[in-house]
Amino acid sequence: MKTWYDKLAEYFPIEEMKSEEHMKLLLKEKGDIYHKDESDQHVLMYVETDEFVFVDYLFVSSNARGAGLGKKLLDQLKNKKKPIILEVEPVDYEDTDTKKRQRFYKREGFTHAKSIGYRRRSLATNEVNELEILFWSPENDDENTIYEQMKHTYETIHTYKDKHLYGESYEPVNKVLTYEEESKPVKPS
């Protein structure tokens, strides 16, 4: 019988995975904000603060896909009436899963935060992984607000006790996350 961690590790690329020890430590020591919701058909790991929800991992088993379970899980999070943020791989046209995932989130009302750059070096592979930040907001929050919430997540969750857990630290938040304000057209004088 596969554990919740086995299911996630089998589905997500190694460079996107936290170690099992890291996730168990978050559940134990950050249990006020870091949560696990699971069944035999899904695993949902998420952060909930007073201001926002961050989806760390969402896995729906292949035999349950297309049955509305992913939508139901997201609807439960949307009912909290807070912005929901998540990281996704950019569309890789050779990997149909990335395309399906992006289409699913778009259907669910998520927007790509184009002004937020996210490049994180994996401690497992040492490769730089570029991800896109998607968000859903009941109050039409701007991307700068999402950026600040993403920085908070990176510093309190992604890098939590990283030196202790992995023997080295992740890069500082200002090297990993960037925010580029949309340039406004210059009016001729």
CATH number at residue 106: 3.40.630.30
Q: To which H or E segment does residue 27 belong?
A: helix 20-29
**Which is nearest to 16 in space by CA: 160, 113, 158, 147?**
158
Q: How many domains does the chain have?
A: 1
CA dist 136 and 141 (Å) reads 9
- Model confidence pLDDT, tens digit, residues 129-162: 999 999 999 999 999 999 999 999 999 999 999 9
> Is 26 part of any domain?
yes
Report yes or no on 52 lying in a domain: yes
Query: Cα torsion at 182, 152, 111, 40 (round to 10°)?
Result: 160
pLDDT at 189 over 90: no
* 83-133 per-position pLDDT tens digit: 999 999 887 767 667 788 889 999 999 999 999 999 999 998 899 999 999
Residue 187 lies in a domain: no
**Single-letter residue type at 29:** E
- Within 8 A by CB and 6+ apart from 7, the residues are 43, 59, 61
For the four alpha carbons of 44, 104, 19 and 172, in that order, the dihedral sign comes to negative
Q: Determine the pLDDT at residue 92.
A: 73
- Sequence length of the chain is 189
pLDDT number for residue 58: 96
Please report whether residue 99 resides in a domain: yes
Question: Is 48 inside any structural domain?
Answer: yes
Q: Is residue 57 part of a domain?
A: yes
- Of 56, 33, 59, the C-alpha closest to 46 is 56
| Domain assignment of residue 15, given as a range | 4-179
Residue 188 falls inside a structural domain: no
**98 occurs within a structural domain:** yes
pLDDT at residue 184 is higher than 70: no
Sign of CA dihedral 125, 56, 132, 65: positive
Residues paired with residue 174 on neighbouring β-strands, in sequence order: none
The model's confidence at residue 186, banded by pLDDT at 50, 70 and 90, is low
